[in-house]
Amino acid sequence: MAGAGLRAAARRWLLGGGQGGPRAASTSPSCPGCGPPGPGAHCPGTPRSAPTGGAELSAHLWARYQDMRRLVHDLLPPEVCSLLNPAAIYANNEISLRDVEVYGFDYDYTLAQYADALHPEIFSAARDILIEHYKSLLMKIDAFHYVQLGTAYRGLQPVPDEEVIDLYGGTQHIPLYQMSGFYGKGPSIKQFMDIFSLPEMALLSCVVDHFLGHGLEFDQAHLYKDVTDAIRDVHVKGLMYQWIEQDMEKYILRGDETFAVLSRLVAHGKQLFLITNSPFSFVDKGMRHMVGPDWRQLFDVVIVQADKPSFFTDRRKPFRKLDEKGSLQWDRITRLEKGKIYRQGNLFDFLRLTEWRGPRVLYFGDHLYSDLADLMLRHGWRTGAIIPELEREIRIINTEQYMHSLTWQQALTGLLERMQTYQDAESRQVLAAWMKERQELRCITKALFNAQFGSIFRTFHNPTYFSRRLVRFSDLYMASLSCLLNYRVDFTFYPRRTPLQHEAPLWMDQLCTGCMKTPFLGDMAHIR
């Protein structure tokens, strides 16, 4: 059992100080860098017989290093890996599906999942529009507005860390006034938030690289606007809709699973609605492909071309009904009928006509700002974020390479923190070698996800800005809507208690340096 292996490894360390034989508990009230030692624990920062000479200190530090390497190896038997399920639903907030009576859905990348083959099509079409009609940086930012060094790019070329720091006045920090506003757009920074951002980021990088490579002068603001407009035109002109409609087998994924989710909810007496910015003809063809010709009978309300996010905030736009051919009608809308199609409108009329309010409603979407933020913050709905990248990232997290790399990074960080009390010349050389190894491990771990930017959820140790907004705007998040099929319709999701820095008895660096007892060590194999 994984738990037994973990307990045995910890017992060897905690009782033997990493040296093989049992040690007596420290009688010192505290020790440098560790605070009060736990009962029966021996702190590596205060050896029983403190070495005196520089060479002896250096040998002592490397001995502790080797002890910890052995401990980390023992702590990670093969069965500890592969703990995370890519098809699981992850909870930011406690939510019981038993209390949810109404389910709402976005369409693109929520009900309809698209293949990666769509991205180069959007890129190529936007590139052609840009060529016919018409010095910014791409970077990764953490939850505290700090740029992760090594992830800033001008065009296709990495920007040196020193230049990034100089750009922001001698710091990696981006001031609040420059950061994204509520919908991800600030005066000088835009946050790329969804899958549709990938072709835009790629095109922006390639165009900037072309201008720089050919010594062409350009205005950053003009270039960004032209690229954004070109991407927008791909959608406005209906090009993306045409590609998908012409080959739905190629572009639409998991259609059978979407049908299974919707029919299962209806069979359990749930009410369903659809609010999308896409036009009716496109949605109709996609839903017929995934669900069948009677797909509208599954939904109590269908709203197309809703113009989210203003749909959630603008009270002025009334609903308009569409006939069977998709033509607009002139009727004044006094109720929303099942099987009918409505265009535009606003959430306030929607709430008045349906009386669907508060935590009875769970809405799923892929864009944190356009789909989820207003619903959670202004209206108290429950929200579910669809994050397709999650599936791939979990598969990487489940690899032994990632698990061992991350665990050793945590252990090495603990060593650095506790051994910094040794400041002689030889010891500083050892600490510098550990710092270098830690940085190399960080880069290796980052590259497992993406060579340029790493994981979308973390910088080296902090959550990304995206993760921060994900936690704030979604009760649940998952790789695809099909994950719902793995749970009963009355299932309650409980978020795991994520330790704060002052309440982290299971953090691997503290465990591995033997600075506290871990009474729940056997449960570590089950922590997500």
CA distance 210 to 216: 8
Token look-up 């591995």 returns 512
Do residues 19 and 25 make contact, with C-beta atoms less than 8 angstroms apart?
no
Please pick, among 67, 99, 108, 424, the residue that the annotation labels catalytic.
Answer: 108
For residue 262, give the nearest of 252, 244, 274, 253 by alpha carbon: 274
| Phi, psi values for residue 420, rounded to 5° | -70, -10
Q: Are strands 90-91 and 476-478 parallel, antiparallel or unpaired?
A: antiparallel
CA distance 274 to 265: 14
Do residues 367 and 193 make contact, with C-beta atoms less than 8 angstroms apart?
yes
> How many residues are recorded in the chain?
528
3 state DSSP class of 11: helix
CA distance 100 to 347: 19
Burial class (CB within 10 angstroms; exposed 0-12, middle 13-18, buried 19+) of 233:
middle
Q: Is 108 annotated as a binding residue?
A: yes
- H or E element at residue 382: strand 382-386
CA distance 277 to 253: 20
- DSSP tag of 368: I
Do residues 359 and 338 make contact, with C-beta atoms less than 8 angstroms apart?
no
> Vertex 19, ends 13 and 25: CA angle to 5°?
60
CA distance 98 to 527: 25
Find all residues with CB under 8 Å of 504, minimum gap 6, and list them.
510
CA distance 498 to 170: 33
| Helix, strand, coil share of the chain (percent; to 5) | 45, 10, 40
CA distance 37 to 51: 20
Please pick, among 67, 106, 142, 509, the residue that the annotation labels catalytic.
Answer: 106
Find all residues with CB under 8 Å of 14, minimum gap 6, and list them.
40, 41, 42, 514, 517, 518
Residue 106 bears catalytic tag: yes
Q: Is 294 annotated as a binding residue?
A: no
Residue 128 bears catalytic tag: no
- H or E element at residue 264: helix 255-267
Q: Is 366 annotated as a binding residue?
A: yes
Token look-up 């209906």 returns 238
For residue 358, give the nearest of 382, 337, 386 by alpha carbon: 382
CA distance 139 to 152: 4
Give the tokens for residue 242. 């045409």
3 state DSSP class of 122: helix
Residues forming the annotated binding site? 106, 108, 366
Residues forming the annotated binding site for Mg(2+)? 106, 366
Residues forming the annotated binding site for GMP? 108
Which residues are annotated as catalytic?
106, 108
